[in-house]
């Protein structure tokens, strides 16, 4: 078996994001996370995979600084998280684009909020709009784009602020299947080129195995990291070959066996 289940911390890369004994209790007493510890290596894509209710989105939002944690500590590049920060950017499940703004302004919005002059921020945004494959669409509005294209704008906006860590909350779940596959393939290119740390929440096993360097398998009640899987897939082969690769299929099957008892 070419898969190894090991703690990510033993991997060779330095750590970008460290989650230490984090618990989150929502007002009303619901415990979304219980004493969770996990590390995310620099320059890699780590997926948080698990059935609904395992707290994966809660964890991502805590790392983003959008939700306060109850106990524990999150550090990004060694600095404790107290709120949103320049070194992190978020990609939203429902895209969170501004319908009244063009593709260009949406993609440049993070820079606009930071007070980057217009010509400069537009030049940066144009570069990333091209990188996500939307060149020529700069002056269209979100309602004129398909779901997949909208999420590309969301990705361009997150890349444009040049954060070290990209937090992606089920970015492809609102996108149709064909578009999703193409998007996943393009994401692999972006990861290779940008060299950023990606934390990727998904509920699709295939998606997690396809795009991730490592997968943190989260299980609910109590919410915990049950296993860390590092899919050892040769990504130099074509996307279609990967999807037919026995190693890929084995990992998908293995994760499914681990999760099936939690479905229903």
Q: Which residues bind another protein (CB under 8 A)?
A: 61, 64-66, 84-86, 88-90, 92-96, 98-100, 109-110, 112-114, 142-143, 161
Shortest Å, Cβ 83 to another protein: 8
* Beta carbon nearer to another protein, 24 or 61: 61
Q: What is the 3-state secondary structure (H, E, C) of 106-124?
A: HHCHHHHHCCCCHHHHHHH
> Computed from CA positions of residues 121, 124, 130, 136, in that sequence, does the dihedral angle turn out positive or negative?
positive
* Beta carbon nearer to another protein, 64 or 208: 64
Shortest Å, Cβ 166 to another protein: 11
Pairing outcome for strands 45-49 and 214-219: parallel
* Beta carbon nearer to another protein, 50 or 171: 171
Shortest Å, Cβ 70 to another protein: 19
* Beta carbon nearer to another protein, 94 or 186: 94
Shortest Å, Cβ 169 to another protein: 9
Tokens of 253: 């099957």
* Beta carbon nearer to another protein, 113 or 237: 113
Shortest Å, Cβ 113 to another protein: 5
Tokens of 187: 């994401």
Pairing outcome for strands 45-49 and 197-202: parallel
């Amino acid at each position: 078996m070419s898969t190894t289940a090991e703690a990510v911390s033993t991997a060779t890369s330095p750590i970008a994001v460290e989650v230490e004994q984090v618990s989150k209790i929502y007002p009303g007493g619901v415990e979304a996370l219980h004493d969770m510890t996990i590390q995310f290596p620099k320059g890699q894509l780590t997926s948080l995979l698990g059935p609904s209710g395992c707290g994966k989105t809660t964890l991502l939002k805590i790392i983003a600084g959008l939700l306060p944690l109850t106990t524990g500590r999150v550090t990004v590049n060694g600095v404790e998280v107290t709120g949103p920060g320049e070194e992190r950017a978020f990609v939203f499940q429902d895209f969170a684009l501004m319908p009244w703004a063009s593709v260009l302004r949406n993609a440049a919005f993070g820079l606009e909020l930071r007070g980057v002059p217009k010509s400069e921020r537009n030049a940066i945004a144009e570069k990333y709009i091209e990188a996500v494959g939307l060149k020529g669409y700069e002056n269209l509005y979100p309602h004129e784009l398909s779901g997949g294209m909208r999420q590309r704008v969301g990705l361009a906006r997150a890349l444009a602020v040049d954060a070290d860590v990209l937090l992606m909350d089920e970015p492809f779940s609102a996108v149709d299947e064909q578009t999703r596959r193409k998007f996943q393939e393009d994401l692999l290119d972006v990861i290779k080129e940008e060299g950023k740390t990606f934390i990727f929440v998904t509920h699709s096993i295939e998606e997690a195995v396809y795009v991730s360097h490592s997968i943190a398998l989260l299980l609910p009640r109590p919410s915990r990291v049950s296993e860390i899987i590092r899919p050892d897939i040769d990504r130099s082969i074509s996307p279609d070959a990967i999807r037919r690769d026995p190693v890929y299929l084995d990992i998908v099957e293995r994760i499914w066996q681990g999760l099936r008892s939690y479905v229903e």
